[in-house]
């Protein structure tokens, strides 16, 4: 039976221990070969792996692997969780499990979050927080509900985010406060460009905006600002316009520094400084936001090898963590784009039997070949 | 006495199919209702481009008597692009199903595919609005969360924001009439919200009173009310649906966050592509393998969407005051 089966193959060079592979279907069977390890044997590395959606072991859907163990002998093993899995990113508001928080430090640039259990987060993942209270009147609930990109992952139970919570209205979280949680946003970039929450603003002859989660903007993007008065820099707001009443004031993205930072061509030298030290008990305060409203581009993403007419990629720039091209075709840079997709994910889970080191499916610079299938007929 | 009962002479055929199918629970699809509609022509590329001129500076400085013309202005415009995307789904139905099933499988599967397509259209718009429109957190409620539950002041704030941004309202007002229990309705923007907030709206004034909330049933006339219209508050008429976006357990206090989209005319535009607004495709089993065993039924459509007036839309985020029944 092959009339309605789906088959796909491909390859990539890994940039870390995880990889998302979009496909025109959700596979029921995936196999991959880590050519780098097959060519040059290395201890505690995976050479080959395969996964079947019908394979159930307890409550897990494990990935089977053939590895070089600690003695560089070829053995079989499994990755019980966070190995190969499928995804269908078509609806928003899908979240990972709630993870209890042990502590969050105060920092002017990168608060450190410690979770009770292994968080399985990677750089570039987007998370939101809830219940950040140390007591009824202290804590950092100002950060609740804001999407944050994971900046660094120092350990399996810690990660950092980009925010200034060093102000007097914040209190560090310690001792596993009750009800403090973080959870991963599973499909954060379904439609781009969009609205972003602002973490930092540097005023000057141009204005540098740092967002809490990837902005997904291109050079030439036209943007508007929505900054409530508590955050300070209200002069950036598109309205009111005192020079031409009723006409919104927009800026253009002059350059994209990284996935969280853009430079906008608005001279903000005389504007009020940005103030993330908003009051603790200010319920109802909205985040400071930057909104994509248009663009002035005329062409699509430039050819740089690979597809001759590349589709847009998100997050921007292409070097950003987890950046990948949309599955649709070429579009004007900065156009509103549907970025929904489906396929399979290679996770960072480690082998279950060989625990002498974290034996993951792939690692940075590995050359990996894969096949994916959706079968017409399966029994049972 | 020998009585023949169904115990010793049972019916040969035990079941009879009721004459009509049961209804399929389906959410109200509000998002497409409030969109501007644009059709992109065939052979028009991948991207629909909108142009909005910017206002010119009104000449408020008098010319004087110098005879010198004032400096010329440079007209400017904003450009908004949206890339067309294609969607589809379908079913492969073996001929034995069609042959042997005693009711019209193809008919009801066709209907379900059409509804799935329309729902996809609406869900895409819903999620796009969540991703693209800026937010205002409700702050007038009393549940102590951030955002709070909806209060009259939140409706007033968001309507004031859109009015200040010179957004266009959808509906003109409804004049009051001499009918018991009714009241006039202001000219209004639309709010798209969740059916889960209806009990909060009924209690908007607190103490089980609606406050400024006017139920659709209390309009002077229902002539202009939409089927999903629940009522109005100040300058906002409220459409509810069970598919409105909710971020579960995501507020400061771990409550559900509702994305109540308030918008004026032309805030969102739905774009279809010529000939691809909806295709229902039936392929006879003849076109399947050598034994022609399987028919296919499928739908396909093209859609793009854009925020065409970013100043005329806000997501008013709120939590809930009343608890939900299990």
Q: How confident is the model over B93-104, as pLDDT tens digits? A: 999 999 999 888
A238 touches chain B (CB under 8 A): yes
- Dihedral of alpha carbons A253, A257, A258, A264, sign: negative
pLDDT at B277 over 60: yes
* Residue A328 belongs to some domain of the structure: yes
CATH for A316: 2.40.30.180
* Residue A1 belongs to some domain of the structure: no
pLDDT at A239: 92
Domain of residue B160 covers 136-175+184-267+309-318
pLDDT at B278: 83
C-alpha to C-alpha distances, B223 to A63, A85, B173, B198, B230, nearest whole angstrom:
60, 52, 12, 22, 14
Residue A360 phi/psi, 5° resolution?
Answer: -100, 160
Rounded mean pLDDT of A335-363?
93
If one counts every other C-beta atom within 10 angstroms of the C-beta of residue A74, the result is: 11
**A361 and A277 share one domain:** no
Pick from A123-127, B44-48, B175-179: least confident: B175-179
Q: What's the pLDDT tens digit per position in B46-69?
A: 999 999 999 999 999 999 999 999
**A351 and A333 share one domain:** no
Rounded mean pLDDT of B7-24?
90
Percent of chain B having pLDDT more than 70?
A: 99
**A130 and A193 share one domain:** no
* Residue B279 belongs to some domain of the structure: no
Q: How confident is the model at residue A282 (pLDDT cuts 50, 70, 90)?
A: low
Burial class (CB in 10 A: 0-12, 13-18, 19+), B296: middle
pLDDT at B206: 85
- d(C-alpha A174, C-alpha B125), whole Å: 41
- Dihedral of alpha carbons B140, B145, B146, B149, sign: negative
**A277 and A222 share one domain:** yes
Contact A141 B248 (CB under 8 A): no
Which residue matches tokens 């065939």? B42
Burial class (CB in 10 A: 0-12, 13-18, 19+), B210: middle
More confident residue, A241 or A197: A197
| Residues 249-278 in B contacting A (C-alpha not used; CB under 8 Å) | 249-254, 257
Percent of chain A having pLDDT more than 70?
A: 99
Chain B residues within an 8 Å CB radius of A192 = 131
Helix spans in B147-286 (H): 152-164, 198-202
- d(C-alpha B83, C-alpha B128), whole Å: 13
Chain A residue at shortest CA distance from B59: A244
Contact A130 B254 (CB under 8 A): yes
pLDDT at B171: 85
Q: For residues B284 and B295, is the Cβ–Cβ distance under 8 A? A: yes
Mean pLDDT for all residues in chain A: 94
pLDDT at A274 over 60: yes
**A204 and A289 share one domain:** yes
Q: How confident is the model at residue A2 (pLDDT cuts 50, 70, 90)?
A: low
Q: Which of A131, A244, A338 sits opposite B57 (nearest CB)?
A: A244
Domain of residue A176 covers 99-185
To the nearest whole angstrom, how far is the Cα of A352 from the nearest Cα of chain B?
33
Sheet holding A45-52, edge to edge: A6-13, A367-374, A29-34, A45-52, A63-68, A74-79
pLDDT at A1 over 60: no
* Residue B55 belongs to some domain of the structure: no
pLDDT at B184: 85
To the nearest whole angstrom, how far is the Cα of A267 from the nearest Cα of chain B?
19
- d(C-alpha A244, C-alpha B40), whole Å: 33
pLDDT at B233 over 60: yes
pLDDT at B261: 98
Contact A336 B139 (CB under 8 A): no
**A205 and A303 share one domain:** yes
pLDDT at A284 over 90: no
pLDDT at B235: 95
Q: What's the pLDDT tens digit per position in B239-264?
A: 999 999 999 999 999 999 999 999 99
Q: If DSSP states are collapsed to H, E and C, what string results for A48-106?
A: EEEEECCCCECCECCEEEEEECCCCCEEEEEECCCCEEEEEECCCCCECCCEEEEEECC
CATH for A103: 2.40.30.20
Residue B51 phi/psi, 5° resolution?
Answer: -125, 130
Q: For residues A43 and A69, is the Cβ–Cβ distance under 8 A? A: yes
Chain A residue at shortest CA distance from B302: A338
Which of B132, B262, B316 to mutate to test binding with chain A, by most A CBs within 10 Å of its CB? Answer: B132
**A63 and A136 share one domain:** no
**A318 and A351 share one domain:** no
Nearest CA to B70 out of B84, B60, B83, B55 is that of: B60
Chain A residue at shortest CA distance from B303: A338
CA atoms within 13 A on the CB side of B308: 24
Which residue matches tokens 């049933």? B217
Please give the tally of structural domains in chain A.
3
pLDDT at A306: 86
Q: What's the pLDDT tens digit per position in A201-257?
A: 999 999 999 999 999 999 999 999 999 999 999 999 999 988 899 999 999 999 999
pLDDT at B27: 94
End of a domain among A161, A185, A209?
A185
Pick from A14-18, B69-73, B144-148, B322-326: least confident: B322-326
Preceding peptide of A315 cis, ω within 30°? yes
Q: For residues A272 and A233, is the Cβ–Cβ distance under 8 A? A: yes
Q: Which of A93, A285, A336 sits opposite B305 (nearest CB)?
A: A336
pLDDT at A20: 92
Largest distance between two CA atoms of chain A: 75
- d(C-alpha A64, C-alpha A284), whole Å: 49
DSSP string, A145-170: T--EEEEEEEETTEEEE-----STT-
* Residue A380 belongs to some domain of the structure: no
Which of B27, B31, B38, B46 to mutate to test binding with chain A, by most A CBs within 10 Å of its CB? Answer: B46
pLDDT at B271: 95
A25 touches chain B (CB under 8 A): no
pLDDT at B17: 86
Chain B residue at shortest CA distance from A224: B310
Chain B residues within an 8 Å CB radius of A248 = 165, 310-311
Q: For residues A202 and A113, is the Cβ–Cβ distance under 8 A? A: no
pLDDT at B102: 85
Q: What's the pLDDT tens digit per position in A15-33?
A: 888 899 999 999 999 999 9
To the nearest whole angstrom, how far is the Cα of A364 from the nearest Cα of chain B?
32
**A202 and A320 share one domain:** yes
pLDDT at A190: 96
Please give the tally of structural domains in chain B.
1
Chain A residue at shortest CA distance from B153: A284
Q: Which ipTM was obtained for this model?
A: 0.93
- d(C-alpha B252, C-alpha B272), whole Å: 39
* Residue B242 belongs to some domain of the structure: yes
* Residue B42 belongs to some domain of the structure: no
* Residue A208 belongs to some domain of the structure: yes
Listed ranges A1-15, A269-283, B119-133; the one with the highest mean pLDDT? B119-133
Query: Chains A and B: how many Cβ contacts under 8 Å?
Result: 169
End of a domain among A185, A202, A227?
A185
Rounded mean pLDDT of A152-170?
96
Contact A195 B133 (CB under 8 A): yes
**A195 and A331 share one domain:** yes
* Residue B143 belongs to some domain of the structure: yes
**A156 and A248 share one domain:** no
């Amino acid at each position: 039976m092959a009339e309605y089966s789906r088959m796909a193959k491909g390859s990539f060079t890994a940039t870390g221990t995880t990889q998302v592979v979009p496909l025109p279907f959700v596979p029921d069977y995936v196999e991959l070969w880590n050519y780098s390890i097959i060519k040059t044997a290395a201890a505690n590395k995976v050479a080959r792996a395969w996964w079947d959606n019908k394979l159930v072991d307890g409550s897990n859907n494990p990935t089977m692997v053939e590895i070089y163990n600690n003695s560089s002998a070829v053995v079989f093993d499994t990755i019980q969780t966070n190995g190969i899995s499928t995804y269908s990113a078509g609806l928003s508001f899908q979240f990972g499990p709630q993870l209890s928080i042990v502590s969050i430090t105060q920092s002017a640039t990168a608060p450190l979050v410690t979770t009770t259990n292994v968080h399985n987060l990677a750089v570039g993942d987007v998370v939101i927080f809830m219940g950040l209270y140390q007591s009824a009147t202290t804590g950092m609930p100002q950060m609740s509900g804001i999407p944050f990109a994971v900046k660094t992952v120092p350990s399996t139970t810690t990660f950092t985010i980009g925010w200034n919570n060093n102000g007097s209205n914040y209190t560090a979280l310690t001792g596993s406060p009750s009800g403090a949680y973080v959870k991963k946003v599973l499909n954060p970039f379904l439609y781009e460009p969009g609205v972003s929450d602002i973490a930092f603003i540097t005023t000057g002859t141009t204005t540098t905006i740092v967002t809490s989660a990837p902005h997904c903007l291109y050079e030439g993007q036209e943007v508007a600002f929505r900054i409530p008065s508590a955050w300070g820099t209200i002069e950036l707001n598109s309205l009111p316009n005192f020079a031409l009443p009723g006409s919104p004031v927009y800026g253009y993205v002059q350059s994209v520094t990284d996935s969280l930072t853009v430079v906008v061509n608005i001279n903000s030298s005389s504007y009020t400084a940005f103030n993330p030290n908003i009051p603790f008990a200010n319920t109802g305060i909205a985040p400071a936001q930057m909104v994509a409203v248009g663009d002035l581009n005329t062409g699509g993403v430039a050819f740089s090898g690979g597809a001759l007419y590349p589709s847009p990629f998100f997050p921007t720039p292409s070097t950003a963590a987890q950046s990948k091209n949309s599955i649709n075709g070429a579009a004007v840079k900065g156009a509103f784009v549907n970025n929904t997709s489906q396929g399979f994910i290679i996770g960072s889970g480690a082998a279950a039997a060989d625990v002498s080191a974290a034996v993951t499916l792939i690692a940075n610079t590995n050359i990996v070949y894969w096949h994916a299938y959706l079968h017409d007929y399966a029994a049972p | 006495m020998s009585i023949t009962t169904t115990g010793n002479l049972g019916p040969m055929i035990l079941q009879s199919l009721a004459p009509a199918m049961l209804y399929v629970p389906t959410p109200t699809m509000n998002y497409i209702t409030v969109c501007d509609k644009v059709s992109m022509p065939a052979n028009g590329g991948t991207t629909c481009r909108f142009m909005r001129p910017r206002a010119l500076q009104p000449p408020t400085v008098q010319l004087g008597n110098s005879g010198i013309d004032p400096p010329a202005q440079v007209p400017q415009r904003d450009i908004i692009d949206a890339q067309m995307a294609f969607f589809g789904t379908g079913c492969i139905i073996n001929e034995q199903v069609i042959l042997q099933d005693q009711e019209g499988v193809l008919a009801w599967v066709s209907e379900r595919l059409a509804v799935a397509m329309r729902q996809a259209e609406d869900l895409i718009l819903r999620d796009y609005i969540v991703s693209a429109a800026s937010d205002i957190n409700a702050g007038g409620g009393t549940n102590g969360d951030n955002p709070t539950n909806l209060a009259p002041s939140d409706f007033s704030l968001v309507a004031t924001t859109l009015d200040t941004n010179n957004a266009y309202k959808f509906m003109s007002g409804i004049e009051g009439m001499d009918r018991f229990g009714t009241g006039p309705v202001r000219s209004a923007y639309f709010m798209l919200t969740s059916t889960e907030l209806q009990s909060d709206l009924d209690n908007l004034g607190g103490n089980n009173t609606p406050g400024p909330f006017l139920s659709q049933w209390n309009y002077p006339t229902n002539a202009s009310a939409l089927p999903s219209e629940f009522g109005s508050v100040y300058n906002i008429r409220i459409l509810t649906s069970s598919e409105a976006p909710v971020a579960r357990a995501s507020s400061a206090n771990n409550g559900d966050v509702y994305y109540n989209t308030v918008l004026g005319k032309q805030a969102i535009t739905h774009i279809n592509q010529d000939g691809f607004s909806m295709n229902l495709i039936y392929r006879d089993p003849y076109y399947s393998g050598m034994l022609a065993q399987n028919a296919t039924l499928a739908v396909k459509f093209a859609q793009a969407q854009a925020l065409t007036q970013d100043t005329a839309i806000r997501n008013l985020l709120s939590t809930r005051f009343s608890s939900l029944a299990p």
